[in-house]
Structure 1
């Protein structure tokens, strides 16, 4: 009986879900087998992270500074409507095109794309202006819709009315600020009238009247609605 009792009360080894020793050997074997690949992966991760900060400090920031220095004289010519000099430079100082070519990926280079687009449009090179403005991108609530609106102007000069309407609508609906939205929605309405789309023009004019009643365009909408046969209160 005693022997039976001792056997019954003797602690049994705890069951485990896996053999720890065997498992450790498998981990070591895995590392030994793939050590080279693992090491390369870790080094690559360090290089990517370190490279990102290194790029920002030693490449991106210096390039931004250089681009801002390059664009200075072009901006001065732009401010006084000397669009050819602003675009191409004066022989001693760079123009927007040189800034774009050398530092197009910087903030200053992006702004140069906008300014170059404006220059082209003023010089009557409308398609070049459109292409340049398409390459420009900004989150600015005034500058970006203005770029779309200028593209609309250029399309209309090229008698591409459908494209002009689309660009004007994009400008007018970019955000509901009273500075740009009513202007470009109004141009969209006029372009729709030109295209013989009176009902769509009426819808745009009503939108201006409702959203921007105190704007210059909003105050004149009754007149434009009336000439399309739309009676307003």
Structure 2
């Protein structure tokens, strides 16, 4: 009985993982497909190396050049010389040239915004809209301001519906007390101009409820009362 028990306790052979055979299979696979594998590895090296090379030898130098070239345009912009800021002075680039040549850089992207502002100041509203639409930023104040300027330009062109949509887009891009109540109020004013009093009331109530401590929020009872929505 003891012998039987010992046999039962002895582990029986199992089909363990054959490391050596697996290695041979891997080697066979590599040699059979070494050309494809080598090409794939080379492609990865080229892509990664190209990315770093692009950043170091193209992107960063272009950023530096764009910042240098936009300097004079910014100075003209600061003193309201919008034509010179936009087009340059013959010796130095304006925002348009910087945006066209280095639009993919941060400085070039900001040049698009500044060019749009210049166009609006010069009364070329559609060009301003087009330029501002080509601008894109993750900045939570600058981007809604761009949308708001587009709204202003549309209103100057008597395109009230488009202006209202741009103002709403500006107001709701990032709810905050700096830009949101300003552009909501402009949307409300534009809605009144369009004869849409009830929609204006809705906007004014939103300002009052969301931003009661802002200048716009404190004035909303007056505008609501004027439209017949009297506070009880």
* CA distance in structure 1 between the aligned counterparts of 2:131 and 2:14, rounded to whole angstroms: 72
SS in 2 for 1:173: helix
State yes or no: 1:131 paired with 2:138: no
Residue pairs, 1:1-233, within 5 angstroms: 14-16=13-15, 23-233=22-232
Task: Using the TM superposition, give the Cα deviation of residue 22 of structure 1 relative to its aligned residue in structure 2, in angstroms.
Answer: 5.3
Q: Structure 1: 5+ residue runs without aligned partners?
A: none
Question: Separation in 2 of the partners of 1:86 and 1:33?
Answer: 64
1:211, CA displacement in angstroms? 2.0
Q: Deviations over 1:82-103 (max 9, x none)?
A: 1111111000000011111111
CA displacement, residues 185-215 of structure 1 (integer Å, 9 cap, x when unaligned): 0000011112222111101101111222232
Q: CA deviation at 1:172?
A: 1.1
Give the CA deviation at 1:113: 0.7
CA RMSD of aligned residues (A): 2.1
Distance 2:83 2:166 in 1: 26
Separation in structure 1 between the aligned mates of residue 128 and residue 187 of structure 2, nearest angstrom? 19
Give unpaired runs (5+ residues) of structure 2: none
Aligned length: 226
Distance 2:58 2:92 in 1: 23
Deviation at 1:15, TM superposition (A): 3.7
Q: Distance in 1 between matches of 2:14 and 2:201?
A: 81
Give, in whole Å, the separation in 2 of the partners of 1:117 and 1:16.
74
CA distance in 2, matches of 1:175, 1:27: 55
Per mean C-alpha deviation after superposition, the further-off stretch among 106-115 and 211-220 is 211-220
* d(CA) in 2 for partners of 1:184, 1:155: 14
Give the whole-Å Cα distance in 1 for the aligned partners of 2:17 and 2:175: 64
TM-score normalized by the length of structure 1: 0.89
Distance in 2 (CA, whole Å) between partners of 1:198 and 1:139 is 34
For 2:162 and 2:199, locate their aligned partners in 1 and report how far apart those are by CA, in whole Å. 15
